[in-house]
A and B are shown apart, each in its own frame.
Chain A
Amino acid sequence: MPDTRRSFLRKSALIAGTALAGARMTRSAAAAPLEIPPTAQQPGRPIPATGYGVPSKFENHVARRRTDVFVNRQNWSDWSMTPLQHQHGIVTPNGLIFERHHAGIPDIDPATHKLVIHGMVKQPLVFSMDDLLRYPSVSKFYFMECSGNTLADWTKAASTTVQQTHGLLSCAQWTGVPVSWLLDEAGVAPDARWVLFEGADGSNHTRSIPLNKVMDDVLLVYAQNGEMLRPEQGYPARLVVPGWQGNMWVKWLRRLKLGDAPWFAREETSKYTDLLANGTARQFTFVMDAKSIITSPSPQAPLRHKGFTVISGLAWSGRGKVARVDVSLDGGRNWRAARIDGLALDKACVRFYAETEWTGEQMLLQSRAIDETGYVQPAKDALRKIRGVNSIYHNNGIQTWLVKPDGEVENVEVS
């Protein structure tokens, strides 16, 4: 049985050693009656005949942002990041899901889009989108993380917002067809071991994926969070490779080729390989290890009040379910288990909370995810000890936020 919020309030108050009631006494009282706002006296905007709803104009600051870390000043092979500091719960809204493209965003007409399956199969096939939509659909929540997430902070604390440190992460419900069903239609040859997936964008993005993973849980999806994919997310069809690096989730999917060996495409050799200190590199590092991030407080979500304070964030693991998330207020000297609220699904984001009484002291906030395989998210130094600092990809080290007495939050590293 999960603890209720109320019992957590009590516990938090006890942990901090202060009485919650004391803080409440300080509120001032107003004498005048509450004003009747104009919105309560007049009708609002009329309902448009048709329209696609957009967020309140007071939420205009909530937006994806390109990184510009490397100031490459070209926006085709580029990325934009999710404002995790504004995300509530575990679902990233469709307009805020991070982007990574290698040749811009194509606009593909689903009426003419084709998906081809060929290579080591009994019967090569062509599917239309109409064909694909006739299959019974499956809908699954999965996180999607670029293995380059947190790359700017490999060597040292360098990014000043959580959007920049961790915004190549998004979580969504994906709807589509298991790729295994489509492969069964074509009939996989007994010697086939790998599948090449290709996109219809200007980079003709290709990745090789082991057949056993494809047969296990890889999906061809056409919808995210209840509506058809956005163009920047691969409309009309993309791959979902649960728990594995985002680069493999081929967008604008147009071709599957079965073979007996991987293709060693550019995106699985020259890129998305992890260079170690000794000059050799790891390849085929598909799985995204367990990771977590406190999104509030964070640099764009500073603390504005003393007293009862909710620390909250996201945790995920490419190896399965998140089993536990620990939170430290003192830079990793002492830890306590956070509360996981809501769904805790396989290879999906979980939302965690840790309540405390903040009296204005400096805090060094950390979180660490532990997954069902027993993997514990490591400290950054522990990662660097094994991998060096040239890996670029797969930085899942523990993040530290310095909360200063004025409530402002900074990205720091600690000993």
Chain B
Amino acid sequence: MSKCRNAVLILFVLVAVTGTAFAGERKLGLGRAATPAEIAGWDIDVRPDGQGLPPGKGSVKAGEAVYMAKCAACHGEFGESAGRWPQVAGGQGSLKSDDPVKTVGSYFAHLSTVIDYVRHAMPFGDAQSLSNDELYAVVAYMLFLNDIVDEKFVLSRETFGAVKMPNAGGFHDDDRETTEKAFWNAKPCMTNCKPEAKITGRARVIDVTPDERKPPPGRD
């Protein structure tokens, strides 16, 4: 019994403590101040409005050398992809087709996305190893591969705003609550909902699933 009373008491104290510490202002004073110098080590994001663009510049010509040395092995010499790695050039006009090809030229709405991603994560396996000049150069070269700029183009903070991405107007925010309003249905059909249910396709015919008894290819 006394154990039980203690438990109730402890619970009461806990509620009281959290009740005061976390009502409205929920501060425990944990963590320490981060200095601007510390933050600079990780703060490398680039936004569509240009916020975060680093100093430096890079030409298409300089970018070709960087691309051939550090990117072409996976993305292909012309951005066409080598194997299953992402294609970075081409595909313009394909988005309505049965085989849409999403690349920097055909799909990316913002130039900042390319700069931000390459700056964060490329080259694959050696992320954040490019200098700012190499970064601008290799992105300039990808723009050239997509016929967005000419071979004399130099990318920098100053020229960033002049680049027009072909699919800039291709996106709109989630509109499911209006375009798919019909899926909210207070009285879904329960009986005799359709005259028949005929089989129109069978997965076994296509079968993209690996054999469960064998390990998948490439497994260590």
Contacts and interface: CB of A to CB of B under 8 A. Distances in A.
Interface in B164-183: 170-176, 179-180, 182-183
Interface in A46-90: 65-66, 68-76
A393 B190 CA distance: 29
Interface stretch (A17-25, A308-316, A406-414): A406-414
Nearest to A102: B121
A263 B44 CA distance: 12
Contact of A402 (B84, B85, B113, B199): B199
A74 B85 CA distance: 9
B108 interface: yes
Interface in A204-254: 204, 206, 254
B216 A66 contact: yes
A203 interface: yes
Contacts of A283: 171-174
Contact of B45 (A159, A164, A263, A390): A263
B202 A157 contact: yes
B102 interface: yes
A368 B97 CA distance: 31
Contact of A278 (B34, B96, B102): B96
B141 to A, nearest CB: 18
Interface residues of A, number: 101
Q: Which of A73, A132, A157, A402 has the most chain B CB atoms inside 10 A of its CB?
A: A157
Given A266-B113, A411-B202, A414-B198, A161 B28 contact: no
Contacts of A270: 102, 107-108, 113, 117
Q: Is the interface of B mostly helix, strand, loop or mixed?
A: loop
A330 B125 CA distance: 51
Given A66-B216, A73-B84, A266-B113, A160 B47 contact: no
A157 B113 contact: no
Given A206-B120, A279-B96, A330-B197, A160 B84 contact: no
A414 B196 CA distance: 9
Q: Which of A116, A156, A186, A264 has the most chain B CB atoms inside 10 A of its CB?
A: A264
A72 B83 contact: yes
Given A265-B117, A413-B200, A326 B188 contact: yes
Q: Which of B31, B43, B201 has the most chain A CB atoms inside 10 A of its CB?
A: B31
B16 interface: no
Interface in B59-112: 83-85, 95-96, 98, 100, 102, 107-110, 112
Contacts of B216: 65-66, 68
B96 to A, nearest CB: 4
Interface stretch (A3-11, A91-99, A352-360, A374-382): A374-382
A135 B180 contact: no
A277 interface: yes
Interface stretch (B5-13, B131-139, B149-157, B207-215): B207-215
28 contacts: A72-B84, A74-B218, A103-B121, A118-B34, A124-B33, A126-B34, A131-B30, A134-B28, A157-B201, A157-B206, A263-B45, A264-B109, A269-B171, A270-B113, A275-B95, A281-B95, A282-B176, A331-B197, A334-B191, A335-B193, A376-B183, A377-B183, A390-B98, A402-B202, A410-B203, A412-B199, A413-B201, A414-B197
Interface of A: 65-66, 68-76, 102-103, 116-118, 123-127, 131-132, 134-136, 152-153, 156-161, 164, 180-182, 184-186, 196, 198, 202-204, 206, 254-255, 257, 259, 261, 263-266, 269-270, 273, 275, 277-287, 289, 300, 326, 330-336, 364, 368, 370, 373-378, 382, 386, 389-390, 402, 410-415
Given A66-B219, A73-B84, A264-B112, 16 more contacts: A69-B208, A71-B84, A73-B83, A74-B84, A116-B38, A125-B33, A125-B34, A136-B18, A157-B206, A184-B26, A202-B125, A203-B127, A266-B113, A280-B170, A333-B196, A374-B184
Interface of B: 18, 22, 25-34, 36, 38-39, 42-43, 45-49, 51, 83-85, 95-96, 98, 100, 102, 107-110, 112-113, 116-117, 120-121, 124-125, 127-128, 170-176, 179-180, 182-186, 188-194, 196-204, 206-210, 212, 216-219
